[in-house]
């Protein structure tokens, strides 16, 4: 097997069909809520390291993605770009320049949340795209033994107290699960049916025996397999006695429809993991 070059891993590249991308679903959501914009040749949609609040669907033209002086990729018709910064509320990781005159539909963060509420499958599709990027990151960094270490990083959480309470209330018929300290909760390569919301305690998530995240109350894990309905890529162990709420795919779809901010919180959690993985090869 050829050695994997970590420089080939780039999360600015636009989603494609092979990433679980559904152009028909995307076009439907952007047509319903998006704003049409045009850009002349050489015009810039956004600039690296600047904040931005729009994601784009390219209707006509070609867009070049650049980081510094390095060309990363070319966005073609019906491809999505710029979604990471909108979801994560972080500066752009690349610049996007029109190679020829372009026509796009744009969604800002508010419109994106509305689109997810109207069409929960759109939120799940975005999760699938980002999770595939995260899987690629785990694979590449494992190959190069460059996985970042989160042992000294504070516990992560996705849901604030209000959202966490609503999560529990919405799933009140599902009893929480109790795990004693050191109990294995999930293993890599197992098929995942549930993601878990931490109600009490702390969970350590590891890849190849290296801790990559610690998750406290309000945090979630296991969503990668849930969104993709595929195998786990990480192990999870109770670092303290834990109380966890199991959540399946149908639960997520129902919650996204009633509370789209929950979907945005989950997407931000995945985006933060992606950005953290990014530190392993920069």
Q: What pLDDT is recorded for position 275?
A: 67
Q: What pLDDT is recorded for position 184?
A: 96
Contact 14, 79 (CB under 8 A): yes
Nearest to 252 by CA among 145, 120, 152, 126: 120
Q: What pLDDT is recorded for position 7?
A: 37
The C-alpha atoms of residue 185 and residue 205 are separated, in whole angstroms, by 10
pLDDT digits (tens, 9 = 90+) for 240-279: 999 999 988 888 778 777 777 777 777 877 777 676 665 5
Range among 25-34, 153-162, 203-212 with highest mean pLDDT value: 25-34
Residue 154 or 95, more confident: 95
Phi-psi region of 9 (alpha: psi -120 to 50; beta: other; left: phi over 0): beta
Q: What pLDDT is recorded for position 98?
A: 97
Contact 165, 275 (CB under 8 A): no
The C-alpha atoms of residue 91 and residue 44 are separated, in whole angstroms, by 15
* Confidence tier at 3 by pLDDT (50, 70, 90): very low
The C-alpha atoms of residue 212 and residue 118 are separated, in whole angstroms, by 34
Q: What pLDDT is recorded for position 76?
A: 93
Residue 149 or 61, more confident: 61
Task: Find the range with the poorest average confidence among 16-30, 54-68, 130-144, 215-229.
Answer: 130-144
* Cβ neighbours of 110 (radius 10 Å): 10
Contact 167, 267 (CB under 8 A): no
User: What's the rounded mean pLDDT across residues 142-159?
Assistant: 62
Q: What pLDDT is recorded for position 113?
A: 86
Nearest to 148 by CA among 163, 134, 162, 161: 134
DSSP string for residues in 204-264: EEEETTEEEEEE-TT-EE-HHHHHHTSB-SSEEEESS-EEEEEE-HHHHHHHHHH-HHHHH
Q: What pLDDT is recorded for position 6?
A: 36
Contact 233, 135 (CB under 8 A): yes
Q: What pLDDT is recorded for position 96?
A: 96
Residue 126 or 75, more confident: 75
pLDDT digits (tens, 9 = 90+) for 186-230: 998 888 888 899 999 999 988 777 787 888 998 888 877 666 667
Structural domains of the chain ordered from first start: 6-118 (2.60.120.10), 120-278 (2.60.120.10)
Cα of first residue to Cα of last residue in the chain, in angstroms, is: 23
């Amino acid at each position: 097997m050829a050695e994997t070059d970590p420089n080939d891993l780039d999360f600015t590249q636009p989603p494609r069909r092979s990433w679980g991308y559904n152009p028909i679903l995307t076009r439907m959501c952007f047509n319903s809520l998006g704003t049409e914009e045009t850009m002349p040749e050489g015009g810039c949609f956004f600039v690296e390291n600047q904040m931005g609040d729009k994601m784009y669907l390219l209707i006509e033209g070609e867009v070049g993605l650049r980081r510094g002086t390095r060309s990363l990729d070319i966005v073609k018709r019906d491809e999505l770009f710029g979604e990471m910064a909108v979801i994560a509320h972080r500066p752009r990781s690349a610049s996007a320049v029109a190679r020829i005159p372009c026509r796009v539909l744009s969604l800002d963060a508010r419109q994106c949340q509305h689109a997810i509420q109207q069409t929960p499958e759109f939120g799940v599709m975005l999760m699938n795209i980002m999770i595939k990027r995260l899987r690629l990151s785990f694979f590449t960094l494992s190959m190069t033994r460059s996985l970042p270490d989160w042992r000294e990083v504070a516990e992560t959480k996705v849901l604030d107290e209000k959202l966490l309470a609503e999560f529990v209330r919405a799933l009140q018929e599902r009893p929480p699960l109790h795990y004693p300290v050191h109990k294995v909760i999930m293993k890599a390569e197992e098929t995942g049916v549930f993601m878990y919301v931490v109600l009490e305690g702390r969970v350590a998530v590891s890849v190849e025996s290296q801790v990559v995240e610690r998750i406290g109350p309000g945090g979630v894990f296991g969503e990668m397999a849930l969104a993709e309905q595929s195998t786990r890529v990480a192990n999870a162990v109770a670092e303290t006695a834990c109380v966890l709420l199991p959540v399946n795919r149908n639960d997520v779809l129902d919650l996204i429809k009633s509370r789209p901010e929950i979907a945005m919180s989950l997407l931000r959690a995945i985006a933060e993991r992606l950005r953290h993985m990014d530190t392993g090869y920069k």
